[in-house]
């Protein structure tokens, strides 16, 4: 076990932004930036061509931005809840849009970030939400064990001391 | 954009990424010298952006200027932000952040070249 997170309160959930979370937020940030750039370009230059596809890309961009911010600030319960929702929407979105685009290539008129499960982005959009959900679950507070200190092995050490 | 600058840039990104990957293996966080390495990459990026701007002004814009400059802006922003974000973490995960950032910048510039040359 690595060192305990520096939570302000005992037994609180760990921050989602430290350790492996640093990498996760980085990948989310890059994808958020890429999706935001793509979406503003589509909305400005050619929204009329495929409104549904470009609206979906815009939704994806917003979800990525919210997920990035929430995970980066994920030390508080409020932001953690926001992160759960954003990453959950992201997972549903990539699975729904991915499946729909697989069934009918031109269902949305144009490709979106989530088309073909994010093929255009090296399938990162498909993997990321599930890594995100795992990470949120992994860093949750030890609710089932009540208010314990950072080292649960305290008790067993006493017999040998 | 100039091809020699692109080759230099991709080589530097791979080198920086390799350096970061070595640190991941060694379980070490990002060090200041690696941030200087990132600054060198950023300098070449800016030089490339300037050549692209001059070339656009004199010979006409790339085939899809909005897309091109969007990518260019992204590639310019990634390293400074990632460097600050990585440096605040003092575990090996900061080295993974630098690795991801370096590879992304390298790949983005390959894509930029594709857009620039109209592939």
pLDDT at A109: 83
Using an 8 Å Cβ cutoff, are B72 and B105 in contact? Answer: no
CB contact under 8 A, B94 and A22: yes
Judge contact between B91 and A15, C-beta under 8 A.
no
Distance CA B103, CA B18 (A): 9
Question: Comparing C-alpha atoms, which of B25, B29, B10, B27 is closest to residue B104?
Answer: B10
Residue-wise pLDDT tens for chain A (161 aa)?
A: 444 444 444 457 889 999 999 999 999 999 999 999 889 989 998 888 899 999 999 999 999 999 999 999 988 899 999 999 999 999 999 999 999 999 987 788 888 899 999 998 999 999 999 999 999 999 997 764 444 444 444 434 333 33
Name the residue ranges covered by the structural domains of chain A. 20-141
Contact B96 A41 (CB under 8 A): no
CA dist B82 and A22 (Å) reads: 10
Q: How far apart are CA B63 and CA B104, in angstroms?
A: 23
Please state, in angstroms and as integers, the Cα–Cα distance from residue A95 to each residue in A71, A91, A131, B82, following that order. 21, 6, 14, 29
pTM here is 0.86
What tens digit of pLDDT does each residue of B54-83 get? 999 999 888 888 889 989 999 999 999 999
Q: Which chain B residues are closer than 8 Å to A27 by Cβ?
A: 100
ipTM above threshold 0.95 = no
The residue to which tokens 């969007």 are assigned: B70
Cα–Cα dist B79/B12, whole Å: 13
Contact at CB, A33 and B74, closer than 8 angstroms: yes
Which B-chain residues 27-46 have CB contacts (< 8 A) with chain A?
Answer: none
DSSP-H helix ranges across chain A = 20-46, 51-72, 77-103, 124-138, 154-157
Please tell me the predicted confidence (pLDDT) of residue A157. Answer: 39
CA atoms within 13 A on the CB side of B73: 12
Among partner residues A22, A30, A45, which is closest to B78 by beta-carbon distance? A30
Q: Which residues of chain B have pLDDT under 70?
A: 119
pLDDT at A2: 44
Predicted local confidence at residue A143, as pLDDT: 60
Among B34, B62, B35, B64, residue whose Cα is nearest residue B48: B62
What is the SS3 assignment for A16?
Answer: coil
């Amino acid at each position: 076990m690595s060192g305990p997170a520096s939570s302000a309160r005992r037994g609180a959930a760990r921050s989602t932004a430290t350790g492996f979370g640093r990498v996760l937020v980085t990948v989310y940030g890059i994808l958020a930036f890429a999706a935001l750039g793509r979406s503003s370009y589509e909305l400005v230059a050619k929204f009329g061509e495929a409104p549904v596809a470009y609206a979906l890309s815009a939704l994806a961009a917003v979800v990525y931005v919210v997920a990035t911010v929430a995970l980066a600030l994920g030390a508080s319960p409020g932001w953690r809840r926001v992160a759960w929702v954003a990453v959950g929407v992201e997972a549903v979105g990539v699975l729904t849009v991915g499946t729909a685009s697989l069934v009918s290539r031109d269902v949305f008129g144009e490709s979106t970030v989530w088309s073909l499960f994010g093929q255009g982005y090296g399938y990162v959009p498909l993997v990321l939400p599930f890594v995100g959900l795992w990470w949120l679950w992994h860093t949750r507070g030890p609710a089932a064990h009540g208010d314990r200190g950072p080292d649960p092995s305290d008790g067993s050490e006493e017999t040998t001391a | 954009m100039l091809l020699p600058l692109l080759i230099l840039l991709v080589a530097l990104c791979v080198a920086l990424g390799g350096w970061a990957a070595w640190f991941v293996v060694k379980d070490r966080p990002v060090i200041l010298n690696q941030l200087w390495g990132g600054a060198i990459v950023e300098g070449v990026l800016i030089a490339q952006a300037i050549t692209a701007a001059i070339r656009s002004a004199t010979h006409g814009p790339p085939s899809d200027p909005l897309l091109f400059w969007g990518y260019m802006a992204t590639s310019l922003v990634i390293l400074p932000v990632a460097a600050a974000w990585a440096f605040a973490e003092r575990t090996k995960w900061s080295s993974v952040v630098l690795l991801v950032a370096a590879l992304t910048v390298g790949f983005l510039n390959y894509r930029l070249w594709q857009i620039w040359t109209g592939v």
